[in-house]
Structure 1
Amino acid sequence: MTETPQTTPTPDAPDATRRRLITWLWRLPVLAAVGATGWGVWEAYRVHFSKVTPDDAPTFTPHPPERIGSVADFPEVWSALEFTFAGTAALALRLPEPVPGGLSVSGVHLAAFSRLCTHLGCPVSLNRNLEAVAVAFNHRTDQPVLTCPCHLSVFAPLQAGRAVSGPARDPLPRVQLSPQGDELFAVGLEAPA
């Protein structure tokens, strides 16, 4: 009878299971890097190329009328008046031309927008310094714009509040204005996109 020799593992022999585990572990950072790159490309596309266009015929939710001022409070183009309507901070502007959702009274073109950025709700403000917009917000324009200092979103009032730069994709909700004599009232709020 022949005996088969018994083999005992030597302490320096590699463990096959451990080797397979290590072979798979190096793939995890590679997969994470590929996934992060894909997500980054998708976000860049979404932010830069899929901005939502405001409706040409907005639908406003009616609220009790609130006086915000008079037409005389807007003596020149780009005059602005801040107000609160239906619990929302808002801004009324005199514009050089009519925009959808705005109001024209005796040759004066007005529009009002929510002041809450559609990205994360920071307050936006009218920025008349075009060079500052170009440098600080990375957006070249020839008209004043509404800017959000939190994450650098830019909204164009002459495009009915459309987001034109930064992480915000949706336009600013518009406030419906109604004249009563020389007085100006806010009467409705556009639902966010």
Structure 2
Amino acid sequence: MATPDLTATINAILTTTSDTTLLRAILADGGVAWHKTDAVLILNGVGGQHVTWPLKAFGYLMANDVLTWDWTYNIHGDFGQDSESGNAFIKHSSLTQSLVATVAPQPQELAGKAMISGIGKVVKVNIDLTKEDDGVWHLTVHAEHEVFDPEKQFEIIYRFGNFSPELSEMKDIQLDSLMYFQGTVHSKDEESKHIIVQVLHHTVVLV
């Protein structure tokens, strides 16, 4: 059986922070080419505050579909992060982008609302008791995903919290096992620069 695709996909509302630049010198009339736009994703910060996380949007677009500076879009596409710099990026097309507003919404309304999903390879598993120490435990899984280049990988931290599985399910959650995750992009770990996802749904993928 072939190994499943380990790409993570994201659906997020982003506000652009730059003009769009063409990544190829010449674009023929009616042609499609790769473009790059700087944008920000709104995450949750400490103390209920929001933080902005810069990322690059790489769009495979016609000239009349490029993103406009300081407009807000809903974009769906493959997500990636440079494991050394922490820089994040999303790959999209005109079919997976929609204009939301020409005036940016209040950032607190967008914090932690982006959705991410995909199959990842488990590289670390933590089980933590809650502060009340009442036998309730929370699962955290670090999973590895592929970027556009399958030879490069990056990690996402998946926190299950109140969505942690029963202990009976834990036997299948092991290092190097594959899991499907779906959740909201909550925040970013400042030390590792990995994004932290609040898991809403998960499945162990048997291969």
Range into which the TM-score falls when normalised by the shorter chain:
under 0.3
Higher strand share: 2
Which of 1 and 2 has greater Rg?
Answer: 1
Say which structure, 1 or 2, has more relative contact order (CA 8 Å, 6+ apart): 1
User: Which structure shows the higher helix fraction?
Assistant: 1
**Given the two structures, how large is their TM-score scaled by the length of structure 1?**
0.25
